[in-house]
Amino acid sequence: MQITRIIAVRHGETAWNVDTRIQGHLDIPLNERGHWQARQLANSLAGEPVSAVYASDLQRALATARAVADATGAPLHTEPGLRERCFGALEGKTFAEIEQEHPEQALRWRRRDPDYAPAGGESLLALRARVTEAAHRLAAQHPGGLVVLVAHGGPLDVLYRAATGQDIQAPRTWQLANAAINRLLWTPEGLTLVGWADTQHLEASSRDETST
Alpha-carbon distance values, 75 to 26, 108, 161, 169 (Å): 25, 40, 28, 36
Q: How far is CA 129 from CA 55, 87, 123, 207, in A?
A: 17, 16, 10, 37
Options 13, 25, 79, 84, the catalytic residue: 84
Indicate if 104 belongs to the active site: no
Distance, in Å, from the CA atom of 57 to the CA atom of 5, rounded to the nearest integer, reads: 22
Q: Using an 8 Å Cβ cutoff, are 33 and 41 in contact?
A: no
189 carries an active-site annotation: no
Q: Name the active-site residue from 11, 25, 142, 201.
A: 11
Q: For the chain, give the longest Cα–Cα distance.
A: 52
Beta-bridged to residue 14, according to DSSP, are 30
Pairing of strands 76-78, 52-55: parallel
Looking at the chain, how many residues does it have?
212
Between CA 195 and CA 21 the distance in angstroms is: 28
| Residues that are catalytic | 11, 84
